Amino acid sequence: MTSQSKICAVVVTYNRIELLKLCIESLKKQTRSLDEILIINNSSTDGTEEWLEKQKDLIFITQENTGGAGGFHTGIKTAYEKGFDWIWCMDDDSMPFPATLYTLLKYSKKKYAAVCPLVIDLKNNMIADQRGYLNKGFIKLYSLQSAININDILYKAEIDIDLTSFVGPLINTAAVKSIGLPKNEYFIHNDDMEYSLRLRQFGNIMLIPSAKIIHKAEGDSEIISIHFMGKTLYRKSFQQYWIKYYTLRNFFATLKLHYPNEISAYLSIVLTTLKELIQIILFDSYKLKRIRIVLVAMYDGITNRFDRKLNIVKEIMYSKQK
């Protein structure tokens, strides 16, 4: 790709001002300078907006908290309308290496929908769930994604993948013109998977292992570890179980929308729901309310209902619960 390409970085943030500062610092240190850094602030309450107002070299938009999906919808839409050639997306807890953008551009082609860096943690370990292939199995539980072969990471300069998170993909605006924007109604979880499947309709999504980005995701203190029959299961606390509604609803809706085998899609929905219900019955507190959340998520995913806002989901959780 020529050096004349205009590139905008889109960073979505919510209440993580210190991580946001580190992310922006890493963007400013790119050996290939960005033409614009655009911050989508999902109504942070930690002083983010006040700090952004003092930064003369940043563009920012503060909007209602519409989750990561709504943030990337606004960011990609804005960058596209400004006429950029490529849009570099990431969350506020991302830190690309100084040469990451330069390396991605070396491999970018007009026919590619996106080129992506390898996502690693602070110890330089690959974070496997950030990139992958479409699961070709007849049954899919919880995820559409299957893992990348580690040997491909070690020995290939480019890897043609199907799915990418929004941690670091450099998206071709020609693809945005063709397939549209991320679904802001997804709010959080699986919005990136759904968008990946549409990006693939335009062209290849290429993983470039020599380009790296750190994802400084903080550990989830609300996760409960349960040891059962020699395995470790991870369950969300009741206070955070509202997230499961969006995870499941969006997964089910994406299955219905994109998977060509309708029987497989519905069977996967039913079996995923049954597995979650069994785990609730065996391991969780507030069983009836969690069961209701799962069943509502299944109904909404199947019927493409996306009008339940976060406050409504939480009302479903807490009403009549003892």
What tens digit of pLDDT does each residue of 219-238 get?
Answer: 555 678 777 777 777 788 99
Radius of gyration of the chain (CA): 20
Q: Which of 120-129, 214-223, 268-277 has the lowest mean pLDDT?
A: 214-223
Confidence of residue 2 (pLDDT cuts 50, 70, 90): low
pLDDT score recorded for residue 218: 64
| pLDDT one-digit tens code per residue, 166-184 | 999 999 999 999 999 999 9
- Can you give 80-147 as a three-state secondary structure string? HHCCCCEEEEEECCEEECCCHHHHHHHHCCCCCCEEEEEEECCCCCECHHHEEEECCCCCCCCCCEEC
Q: What residues contact 253, with CB distance under 8 A and at least 6 apart?
A: 186, 194, 300, 301, 302, 304, 306
| pLDDT one-digit tens code per residue, 34-51 | 999 999 999 999 999 999
3-class secondary structure, 149: coil
Q: What residues contact 56, with CB distance under 8 A and at least 6 apart?
A: none
pLDDT score recorded for residue 110: 95
| pLDDT one-digit tens code per residue, 77-122 | 999 999 999 999 999 999 999 999 999 999 999 999 999 999 999 9
Inter-CA distances, 244 with 145, 236, 315, Å: 18, 8, 14
Q: Which domains does the chain have, with CATH numbers?
A: 7-215 (3.90.550.60), 223-318 (no CATH)
- Mean of pLDDT values over 119-130: 94
Work out the burial of residue 92: count CB atoms within 10 Å of its CB; fewer than 13 is exposed, 13-18 middle, 19 or more buried.
buried
